[in-house]
A and B are shown apart, each in its own frame.
Chain A
Amino acid sequence: MGANASREAVAGVVSTHQPLIQVQNLTKYYHGELILKDISVDIEEGDLVSIIGPSGCGKSTFLRCLNGMEVLDCGSVNISGISLQRKTLGAPMQDFNTKAHALRQQVGMVFQTFNLFPHKTLLQNVMMAPMIVQKKSRDEAEAVAVKFLDKVGLKAFSHRYPIQLSGGQQQRGAIARALALAPKVMLYDEPTSAIDPTRVDEVLEVMRDLDKEGMTQIVVTHEMRFAKDASDYIIYMEQGEFVEISDEDEIFIAPKDERTRKFLKKFM
């Protein structure tokens, strides 16, 4: 709350409204190298945010810091009232594991390589977290799993094992698996990069549908078309910094920053 208060004071605005995700002065080192440089951003509930930028710019690390998969070195991440924070660089973090664990139940994550559990059927994959984490009964968990598999169009494939599914189907399954915990936020780490180009749209379609339902989503992506069409706004990231945050039309038509312009040139 201390951090919030000071921020509001700086902004000179006092408001009761609090964004769903607040990131302040997020700093992360990796093997002595500065990966995230003092990043601050607010993301409102229901937004779909795309993060673009060259490889190695820190996009994935940023995403992983949001659900505590990476331990931040300084700054704070506050999602839906759960806060991971470090006031000074490397200061001790109390209850990091407990808080990160609580945070992850609010935040679903989807990986580039799907990471479905190969020894379980699709249905079992989706049922696992509700049963193990939320201690739901088998019947309850199955009802939830079937509902979300239906949502991503995979109800008919419930009893297949991951290796019997295409990349697009696996990724949709992974989205259903994350949704089964009823998260407030969904994070996607290059969700379509490992998928056959002809199957990319089926995954993006699922994400568009979720956006319509008001899900807050952050997508690290190379799909410029998707970023342009579907995002509420786009963040361009380079060398651990948010170079430009802007409305989709702005960034593609008239990027403010020279670096953004150079990057987008390769895609346009």
Chain B
Amino acid sequence: MNVYRLLTKTVYRNTFACFFALSLSATAEAKDILRWGADGQGGAPHVFYDPKNPERLTGFEYEVAKNIADFTGKDLQYCPNDYEMLVSGLKRGEYDILMNAIVRNVWQKHAKKAGVLLSDPYYITHLQPVVLKNSEIKTVSQLKGKKIGILKCSEHAENAVRQLGAHFVIYDDEVKAYADLNNKRLDCVMTDHPETFYYASVDDSIRMLEPVDRIEFSVAVRDDHSDLLKQVNAALEHLKNNGTLRAIYERWGLWNTETATYFKTSVLPQTPATELERYIADVQSETENGNCYLNSLSCFAKAAAVTLGISLSAMVLALVFGFILAVFRTYGFRWLQCLTATWIEIIRGTPLMVQLLFIFYGLPNLAPYLSEPFASWVCMNPFVAGILALGLNYSAYEAEIYRSGFQSVPIGQTEAARALGMTHTQALWHVVFSQAVRTVLPPLTNDFIMLLQDSSLVSLITIVELSRTYQLFAAANFNYFGFGILVSLFYLLMGLPFTRLARHFEKSLSAKMQRHA
């Protein structure tokens, strides 16, 4: 029991810290912070954690964002979000600017509908198809009818593949796409040039084909933030003219003809590609001597605390709310029974992921039609939304466990209690519930272990927890294997005390059963 108490204590402290940080960031919003949304999972060279020092954010887009913030006199705050959710997060006000390989050519078409404004381009590049070194495919024209791996949310790549008369397969990140290229499940992988270039720099088994298309990267802001857009454009113009942008791209080895033409400067680099070289050296040395795992441990530990904090809070909510549901469902008035039964069916009949996205991204759409304080209630912070979604979802399952627990207490027990002059409520409380607790403890504890794993879904709503951290590190180090084992160990270690607890409850219960028999 001591371990349990200790765990709860630590987690509450951590959760508190999270909330505290969040409320701080919320109050500071009005002052001088520029919140920047991006997906670190995209990996090098856009935005990623330094493989050598996982606490340090880096990447050429990080540097551009930092310079934009400096120009506008604000402090930059990085707000990580899943790539698919980047625009939704911007609309929801999770961050002020979005800069993460947002393709201007594509988004211009959707800008009005999506409710975003696009800045002038800050970098211009192309799609880069790659094949295995020994592949028979020598030119792009030979790709007709072949299978090409592309990244999610890249409409420009989909269009390009269609034009080539090929078929596309969509991947979460390029590491998985390259794995399939190696496995011969794909004939070609086609992503934006910077990503391909960085991957190719540490993997010599692939060969680049000639460029396809032209891509302009832009910064996006909400359509009611036209002032901010002006500031961003002014910043980009300034950074372009004073050579800052060019220097950044050159250090990252990304200075190219397209951008040079657009900037109207020389294509010949003036600065050595130090960041690129450092990156190649880091990845190679880290992977060789396994330092990347050691360095990542503190990040994983922090993420584990977030996972545990969210899971425990959600479980408390599920236990309390599930109990209320079960009592209503079993002992309530007829209409209340119907209502709770319907609610439980709805919750159990829809996926947790849908509920989570609905609460976080869907509900805020109601805000314009609601008065305060409801309007601000529907725009929950990610932690509240995550705990609420997990808690509500699990409460439906816990309610059914409680109900079967109530029903396992023989009717004679209630009758005896009532015959002793107890009221209905007293009989339920002192006789039914206190006996049901013993039967429901093992299944409830098992459910918590499941919740611990399901909590990985909150990574969809901008929370960096354990499984999200895994993806970030795996993508940055091109290593899903080693970090996969590491993150599994974390989940196992966290679940272990609860598995033991469940087994303990089961044992003591079965001991009782045996004595009954």
Which residues of A are in contact with B by a Cβ distance under 8 Å? 67, 69, 101, 104-105, 107-109, 111, 113, 115-119, 128-129, 132-133, 163-164, 174, 177-178, 181
Kindly report which residue of chain B lies nearest to residue A109, judged by CB atoms.
Answer: B419
Q: By the criterion CB–CB under 8 Å, are A101 and B423 in contact?
A: yes
A181 to B421, CA, bound (A): 9
CB of B516 within 8 A of chain A? Answer: yes
Shortest Cβ distance from B429 into chain A, in angstroms? 9
Q: Are A177 and B420 in contact (CB under 8 A)?
A: yes
Given contacts A111-B412, A117-B413, A133-B426, contact A69 B420 (CB under 8 A): no
Between A and B, 6 residue pairs with Cβ closer than 8 Å are: A105-B421, A107-B419, A109-B419, A115-B410, A132-B430, A163-B515
SS of B interface (majority): helix
Q: Contact residues of B with A, CB < 8 Å? A: 410, 412-413, 415-423, 426, 430-431, 434-435, 438, 512, 515-516
Beyond A128-B430, A132-B426, A132-B430, whether A115 also contacts B412 by CB under 8 A is: yes
CB < 8 Å neighbour of B420 from A113, A129, A163, A164: A129
Query: Given the complex, which residues of B lie within 8 Å of A101, measured CB to CB?
Result: 421, 423
Contact B422–A118 (Cβ < 8 Å): no
B418–A104 touching, CB < 8 Å: yes
Q: Which residues of B are found within 8 Å of A181, using beta-carbon distances?
A: 420-421
Contact, CB under 8 Å: B418 / A69: yes
Give the CA-CA distance A55 to B211 in the complex, in Å.
93
A111 and B412 alpha carbons, distance in the complex (Å) = 8
The answer to whether B418 touches A117 (Cβ under 8 A) is no
- For A129, give its contact among B410, B421, B434, B515 (CB under 8 Å): B421
* In the bound complex, CA of A101 to CA of B410 (Å): 21
Looking at the assembled complex, report how far the CB atom of A205 sits from the nearest CB atom of chain B, in whole angstroms: 22
**Beyond the given A129-B422, A133-B426, could you list 12 further A-B residue pairs with CB under 8 A, ordered by the A residue number?**
A67-B419, A105-B421, A113-B412, A115-B412, A116-B416, A119-B435, A129-B420, A132-B426, A133-B421, A133-B422, A163-B512, A163-B515
Residues of A within 8 A of B431 (CB): 117
- Shortest distance between the CB of B439 and any CB in chain A (Å): 11
Interface contact A104-B419, CB-CB below 8 Å: yes
B417 contacts which chain A residues (CB < 8 A)? Answer: 117
CB < 8 Å: which of A69, A119, A133, A164 contacts B415?
A: A69
On chain A, the residues within 8 Å of B512 by CB distance are 163
> Do B426 and A117 touch (CB < 8 A)?
no
- Complex CA–CA separation, A133 to B419 (angstroms): 11
Chain A residues, Cβ within 8 Å of B426: 132-133
Minimum distance in angstroms from B274 CB to a CB of chain A: 71
The reply to whether A178 and B415 contact each other, CB–CB distance below 8 Å, is no
B415/A115 in contact, CB under 8 A: yes
Bound Cα distance from A101 to B431, whole angstroms: 17
Q: Which residue of A lies closest to B426 (CB)?
A: A132
Roughly how many angstroms separate A181 CA and B422 CA in the complex, as a whole number?
A: 11
Asked if residues B435 and A117 are in contact (CB atoms below 8 Å), the reply is: yes
Closest to B516 in A: A163
Q: Inside 8 A of B435's CB, which chain A residues have their CB?
A: 117-119
Q: How far is the CA of A128 from the CA of B410 in the complex (A)?
A: 18
Chain A residues with CB under 8 A of B413? 115, 117
Chain B residue with Cβ nearest A177 = B420
Residues of the A chain whose Cβ atoms lie less than 8 Å from the Cβ of B410: 115
**Which residues of chain B are within 8 angstroms of A107 by Cβ–Cβ distance?**
419
- Report the Cα distance A118→B439, complex, angstroms: 13
Which residues of the other chain, B, contact A164 by a CB distance below 8 angstroms? 515
Q: How far is the CA of A76 from the CA of B447 in the complex (A)?
A: 51
A231 to chain B, nearest CB (A): 22
A111 to B434, CA, bound (A): 21
A113 CA to B431 CA, complexed, in Å: 16
| The 3 A-B residue pairs with the shortest CB-CB distance in the complex, in nearest-first order | A115-B416, A109-B419, A129-B420
* Distance of A104 Cα from B427 Cα, bound (Å): 13
Residue of B nearest to A162 (CB): B516
Q: Is B418 within 8 A of A119, CB to CB? A: no
The residue on A at minimum CB distance from B434 is A119
The complex places the Cα of A115 from the Cα of B423 at a distance, in Å, of 17
Give the chain A neighbours of B418 by CB distance below 8 A: 69, 104
Shortest Cβ gap from A175 to chain B (Å): 12
Q: Which residues of A contact B516 (CB under 8 A)?
A: 118, 163
Asked whether, in the complex, the Cβ of A178 is within 8 Å of the Cβ of B434, the reply is: no
* B413: min CB distance to chain A, Å: 6
- Give Cα A109 to B416, complex, Å: 8
Contacts of B421 in A (CB 8 A): 101, 104-105, 129, 133, 181
Of all chain A residues, the one with the shortest Cβ separation from B435 is: A119
Q: When chains A and B are docked, how far (Å) is the Cα of A159 from the Cα of B31?
A: 67
Check if B420 sits within 8 Å of A104, measured CB to CB.
yes
State in angstroms the CA–CA spacing of A101 and B423 once bound together. 7
